[in-house]
């Protein structure tokens, strides 16, 4: 399938795409794309997604669409059609290169220096965004069809995260808490189907323990949350 030529909107320096454009890109019905957008907002995965009314390109009638930034569009496509995620990232890099390639004409040497510095900052921010989103992309590409549970260390390896940093992320964001020496998921995340707790007994000490396990839904959700956490840390 050839990548569609999307028509992004640039607002105050931010490039966005609509849910209708993403529906065309992935071959999904727009109402299904809207439903997933609303689920992502309700789950707190993509709270910045906004609904707006825009004219349909074919009949001119106004319809409700969602407008998404780069990071949220990647998460959306990851949930809709993982096979299109790489193409979406490639398209975003093209769009951002176009924005950078059309700067304001500097009127003085000082303006030229400031413009060069601003462009360098933009490029650095884009690189940080790609690096922050990479764990979520790798999860989608490798584990989207997984039906098994994953332990803490497996998820750290999947997200390429240091165990200490990932543990602090879970604790500081109240995703999990310590019960004795073990991590235990918060009740509302258990109810949301993101975690399960498995009981076991140590073979060496015969000590009973409870082990936190990430469900496939939980891994996908935490990958997005951890990507946002990394992105904030870069700014």
pLDDT digits (tens, 9 = 90+) for 146-166: 446 888 988 888 888 899 999
Q: Which residues contact 100 (CB under 8 A, 6 or more apart)?
A: 119, 122, 123
**CA angle at 42 for the pair 39 and 43, rounded to the nearest 5°:** 85
pTM of the predicted protein model: 0.40
Q: What is the mean pLDDT of the chain?
A: 75
Is the pLDDT score of 47 beyond 70? yes
In the sheet that holds 9-11, the strands lie side by side as: 9-11, 14-18, 62-68, 50-55
159 three-state secondary structure = helix
Range 64-92 average pLDDT = 81
Least confident interval from 86-95, 197-206, 215-224:
197-206
Distance from the Cα of residue 190 to its chain's centroid:
21
Mode of pairing for the β-strands spanning 14-18 and 62-68:
antiparallel
Distance from the Cα of residue 125 to its chain's centroid:
16
User: For the chain, how far is it from start to end, CA to CA, in angstroms?
Assistant: 36
pLDDT score at 133: 57
Instruction: Judge contact between 188 and 119, C-beta under 8 A.
Output: no
Helices (H), the chain: 19-26, 30-42, 70-80, 85-100, 109-143, 152-159, 163-172, 187-191, 216-233
Instruction: List the chain domain ranges.
Output: 9-102, 152-233
In the structure, what pLDDT confidence band is assigned to residue 33 with cuts at 50, 70 and 90?
Answer: very high
Question: Could you give the maximum distance between any two Cα atoms of the chain, in Å?
Answer: 76
Among the listed residues 32, 14, 15, the one whose alpha carbon sits nearest the alpha carbon of residue 23: 32
| Structure confidence by residue, pLDDT tens digits, 210-227 | 788 898 888 888 888 888
pLDDT score at 102: 47
Q: Please state, as a whole number, how many other Cβ atoms lie within 10 Å of the Cβ of residue 4.
A: 13
């Amino acid at each position: 399938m050839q990548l569609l030529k999307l028509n992004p909107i640039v607002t105050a320096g931010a490039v966005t795409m609509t849910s209708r454009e993403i529906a065309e890109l992935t071959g999904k019905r727009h109402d299904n794309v809207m439903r997933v957008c609303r689920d992502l907002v309700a789950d707190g995965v993509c709270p910045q997604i906004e609904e707006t009314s825009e004219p349909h390109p074919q009949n001119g009638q106004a319809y409700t669409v969602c407008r998404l930034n780069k990071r949220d569009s990647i998460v959306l496509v990851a949930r809709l059609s993982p096979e299109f995620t790489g193409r979406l990232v490639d398209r975003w890099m093209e769009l951002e290169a176009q924005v950078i390639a059309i700067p304001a004409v500097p009127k003085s040497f000082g303006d030229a220096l400031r413009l060069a510095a601003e462009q360098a900052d933009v490029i650095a921010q884009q690189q940080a965004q790609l690096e922050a989103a990479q764990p979520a992309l790798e999860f989608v590409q490798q584990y989207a069809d997984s039906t098994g549970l994953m332990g803490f260390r497996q998820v750290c390896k999947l997200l390429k995260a240091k165990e200490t940093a990932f543990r602090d992320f879970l604790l500081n964001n109240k995703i999990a808490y310590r019960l004795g020496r073990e991590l235990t998921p918060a009740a509302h995340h258990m109810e949301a189907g993101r975690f399960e707790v498995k009981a076991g007994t140590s073979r060496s000490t015969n000590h009973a323990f409870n082990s936190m396990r990430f469900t496939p839904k939980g891994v996908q959700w935490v990958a997005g949350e951890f990507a946002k956490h990394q992105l904030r840390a870069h700014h």
